[in-house]
Amino acid sequence: MLGNHIFDNNFEVILADTPESKAIHYNIRYQVYCEEMGFEDKHKYPNEQEFDQWDDQSVHFLVRDKHLGHWVGALRLVAHKGRPFPLETHCQLDEPLNFLQYKHSVELSRLCVLKEVRRFSARRLITQGRLDQTATAIEGSNVTLLRPHKNLGLTVMWGLLRAAACYCKEYNINDLYLLIAPALAFSIRKEKFSLNQVGEACEHRGQRIPFQWEIDNVLANSLWKNDYQTEFSHYSARFGQDVAYRKLA
């Protein structure tokens, strides 16, 4: 780890509560799911915004580079709203979810970080956990050139996950459901989080496993002791737009 407060000094999580900010969120997903991974057909999204039928029942989060203002990551939380969670359309759960579980749960999905951040680039140093103020953007890209740090993508991911968990705690959401690759499950458990497998692995863009994750377990982890303290702010408040905010549940 490159000192303390790597995330808090360099990034911030924003809840996308305006049409403008949701468009940013959808574009990040387009870059990752359509252009990079090829999971979705890019020709279906000529405006370069990847979205689906669950976005109307979701709240959307973004990660922003504080110094250059670039948007580098995203995730969403999907509420039940009378419809199954996305993971239920792809795999068989051990037991069907009941009304109370739906009421106090969301599915975390579309977690993505731009490849330039995941793979990092080496030009500028980070001193005392802060990006060099003279850092420049990668030509043709929208991310900052960073010091080599193999866990930078995970650092951004942890910031998103903690912000999402803080949101859930505020609105009495007790559990997250996830459909994730074994490698991501390993990374989460490596930090001593407790994931509960709730169904058999299925094939969906590779092998995926359904998990349930308690919000209290997320927030109690010592990973947050020295970083990730800023939680999140609303796009409308952060950027001076007076737009009504609709909570998830």
Give the domains, in start order, of the chain with CATH numbers: 6-238 (3.40.630.30)
Any idea of the CA torsion for 12, 78, 33, 16, to the nearest 10 degrees? -30
Distance CA 80, CA 64 (A): 28
- Checking if the pLDDT of 245 tops 70, the result is no
Q: What is the tens place of the pLDDT at every residue in 2-60?
A: 447 899 999 999 999 999 999 999 999 999 999 999 999 999 999 999 999 999 999 99
Distance CA 88, CA 72 (A): 28
Any idea of the CA torsion for 185, 191, 247, 117, to the nearest 10 degrees? -80
Arithmetic mean of pLDDT, 127-147: 37
Q: What is the tens place of the pLDDT at every residue in 140-161?
A: 444 333 334 457 899 999 999 9
Average of per-residue pLDDT values in the chain: 85
Quote the pLDDT of residue 246.
Answer: 45
Among the residue ranges 79-83, 136-140, 147-151, 168-172, the one predicted with the least confidence is 136-140
Q: What is the tens place of the pLDDT at every residue in 213-224?
A: 999 999 999 999
Task: Report residue 201 as tokens.
Answer: 């692995």
H or E stretch covering 182:
helix 182-190
- Checking if the pLDDT of 138 tops 70, the result is no
Who contacts 210 (Cβ-Cβ below 8 Å, separation ≥6)?
87, 91, 93, 177, 178, 179, 197, 198, 199, 202
Quote the pLDDT of residue 244.
Answer: 44
Distance CA 104, CA 102 (A): 6
Question: Residue 118 carries which side chain, given as an amino acid letter?
Answer: R
Q: What is the tens place of the pLDDT at every residue in 193-207?
A: 999 999 999 999 899
Quote the pLDDT of residue 145.
Answer: 35
Who contacts 129 (Cβ-Cβ below 8 Å, separation ≥6)?
2, 3, 4, 5, 6, 9, 10
